[in-house]
Amino acid sequence: MTRETAKNEIKKLLTNYVNMITEKRSGDAYVCPLCKSGTHKKGTAAFHIKDGVFWKCFSCGENGDIFDLIGKIENISDFKDIMDRAIEMFGFTLDDNDHLSYKAEKASAHKPSNGNETSKAQETLVNYTEKFLQAQECLFDNTHGEGLEYLVKRGISAETAKKYGIGFIPAWRHPKVSQYVPQSPRIIVPLSKDSYFARDIRSGISSKTKQYEKQRVKGEKRHFFNESALYTSDSPIYVTEGEFSALSIIEAGGTAIALGSTSYADDFIKCVTEKPPVQPLIITMDNDDAGKKAVSKLSNGLVSLSVPFAVYNPMGDYKRSE
């Protein structure tokens, strides 16, 4: 994303930011994070947001946009520094492709430049095994029933959840983003000891938040959900786009692995090039443009590797397999 795009995106995040740093009082008024109007017994909250991008406090008279507010709260005066802070805070990455992406995506894409030693060291450093165990405990903990409720609503039984080490984290945040990025309740699907998929379980969230509802914490190498089935299955293996689609097939008695994203089709071909699967594959992607492109990439790759496969589209004209 360009700096200009980032600037425009961040501008729209004023309400998110205000909700992070202060609390709402009656109507549309917030406690002023600068003069604290609204905290005294008599004082009325006088901090207002206008059109989602401007703010004004009628008590202290301060006003501006999100950058002015961040500057005042964090005591930064130079606009460039405020911008850098905002980009960090909301986890945006500036890149050449104009993509809105989390920092982590970039960070994990950068291979260590100084040889194998560093990469080995990092590999041994990141291990989420303990975290996965805690998340599994949490999924079945009565005080956090919403995680299991979400799974059941999506047709995934507790038994399947247990078998695949699925867990729940009530207040999750991507390990590589700033502490100011809001936390969210997530189903955790382990992919390998150093990577997992985290799915926001809330419904009715804003489109701004929704774009982050499916997030991945990447490890040293790309891993796919239930990847080991490629080498152990005794029946054909479904290859789905999303983890939940794979889980649904498993729930119905089949064997399935998930790519995680249509953009990982190349990685998947690399994976089966290194070690071919022991059973034929059944490719089933979402019936949208990205899904169709992935199907053609996978087909071409599998043909050239002489891996037996079939393409199956159970959705007909419906777009999504979930």
- Residues 48-107 close enough to bind Zn ion by CB under 5 A: 57, 59-60
Nearer to Zn ion, 46 or 191 (CB): 46
Rounded least distance, CB 17 to Zn ion, Å = 16
Can you tell me the distance from the alpha carbon of 25 to that of 133, in angstroms, rounded to the nearest whole number? 39
Amino acid (1-letter code) at residue 97: N
The one among 32, 89, 191, 302 contacting Zn ion by CB under 5 A: 32
Least distance CB 24 / Zn ion (angstroms): 15
Q: Is 257 in the site for Zn ion (CB under 5 A)?
A: no
Tell which one of 35, 49, 76, 138 touches Zn ion (CB under 5 A): 35
Q: Are 10 and 85 in contact (CB under 8 A)?
A: no
Minimum distance from CB of 39 to Zn ion (Å)?
11
Q: Which DSSP letter does residue 121 get?
A: H
| Smallest separation, CB 86 to Zn ion (Å) | 21
Instruction: Specify the residue for token string 């059941």.
Output: 152
What minimum distance in Å lies between the beta carbon of 33 and Zn ion? 8
Nearer to Zn ion, 32 or 86 (CB): 32
Of 30-38, 66-74, 171-179, 196-204: span binding Zn ion (CB under 5 A): 30-38
| DSSP-assigned letters across all residues of 260-275 | SSGGGHHHHHHHHHHS
Provide DSSP, 189-232: EEEETTEEEEEE--SS--HHHHTTSEEEE--SS---BTTTHHHH
- CA dist., res. 315 & res. 242, Å (int): 14
Q: How many chain residues interact with Zn ion (CB under 5 A)? A: 7
Report the Cα–Cα distance between both ends of the chain, in Å, rounded.
30
- Whichever of 66 and 187 has its CB closer to Zn ion, that residue is 66
Q: Rg of the Cα trace of the chain?
A: 23
Residue ranges in contact with Zn ion by CB under 5 A = 32, 34-35, 37, 57, 59-60
